Amino acid sequence: MEFNFKSNSPYSYMRYGNYEAKYKGKEQYLVPNIEGLLNIRDLYDMFSKMDSILVDLLNMGRMCSEANDERTKFASAYFFVKQYGLLGFMVDIPINTDFMLMNEVTLKEDNFISNNCIMKTKDYFKLFFPFATTDEMSYTVTDGKVVIKSTFYLQEMLQQASLNNQLIYSNFYCEKVDWIVEYAKKMYSIFKKIYEKQNNDVQEFNIENTVNKYYFSGVPYTINMYSQTPEISWQPNSLKQAIDLSFGFMICSEKNPLKICKHCGKVFYAKNPKAEYCSPQCRNQANVYKSREKNK
């Protein structure tokens, strides 16, 4: 299949066995729940699951655009995170990727997290670890090197991992439900506009503004030479980067398999390029309506 990222770039991402909601004031966060679980965390290949990741993300965006209440937001963000892990905003959003070495971090403009594009790194760090004490999660910078400090055994197990992974794979790392939902809504609105324009469903002249303005960050890559043919191996630093990358490739492909169901409006992955409905049920129901219309 055309979108087989897997053969080129296997890339593992960590998710915990479960997540829970925690509150700081009114803000709701999703945090790994490590109590009482045998299977605390596991790794999966993001690119091999990208079809369902994109479909689930876009449907989260769709649901939350239609019903923006706290219950819908939490339920859909939780459903997503439980399957695929947190998105990794902390390492995706900074423009200066070595921000942990600096006093300040500069954020991308469209970042879902803060309207301030410059923040103190200490404050930025705290944004993602609001429930951890200093003993549980802190860092020092010595001789141009960042060292994560933690007395917790799960964090110690990550010591061999890259700095990015020590941060976003931490059992103390969390993301606000609102960030996840806003990102999903943004992706859905871009997708929907492109889809409708392509399918001539609407006459809108302002599409360029929504679509062109969103900036997808560059994803580093290496070149593999396992055989005589060189292969690109993408090195996304987070689930979010992998999604941004795959979204662009799919949407801009002639054979874009992501579609909107003509009956229920859900986003689905069309294995058959001619498919118009997300399920046999939707196709049947649509046919029932059509024949009723005829018989009027």
- Given the rule CB under 5 A, which residues bind Zn ion? 261, 263-264, 266, 278, 282
Distance CA 175, CA 214 (A): 21
* 242, 87 contact by CB (below 8 A): no
DSSP state at residue 107: B
Cβ contacts of 266 within 8 Å, gap of 6 or more:
59, 62, 260, 278
What's the token pair of residue 68?
């923006």
Q: Which residues pair with 176 in a beta bridge?
A: 29
Q: How far is the CB of 69 from Zn ion (least distance, A)?
A: 23
* 1, 225 contact by CB (below 8 A): no
Distance CA 97, CA 112 (A): 18
DSSP state at residue 78: H
Of 272, 264, 277, 269, which is closest to residue 247 (Cα–Cα)?
269
Pairing of the two strands 145-149 and 175-176 = unpaired
What's the token pair of residue 286?
């649509």
Query: Using alpha carbons only, what angle is made at residue 60 by residues 55 and 63, rounded to the nearest 5 degrees?
Result: 120
Distance CA 48, CA 41 (A): 18
Q: How far is the CB of 263 from Zn ion (least distance, A)?
A: 5
**Could you identify the residue written with the tokens 């760090």?**
125
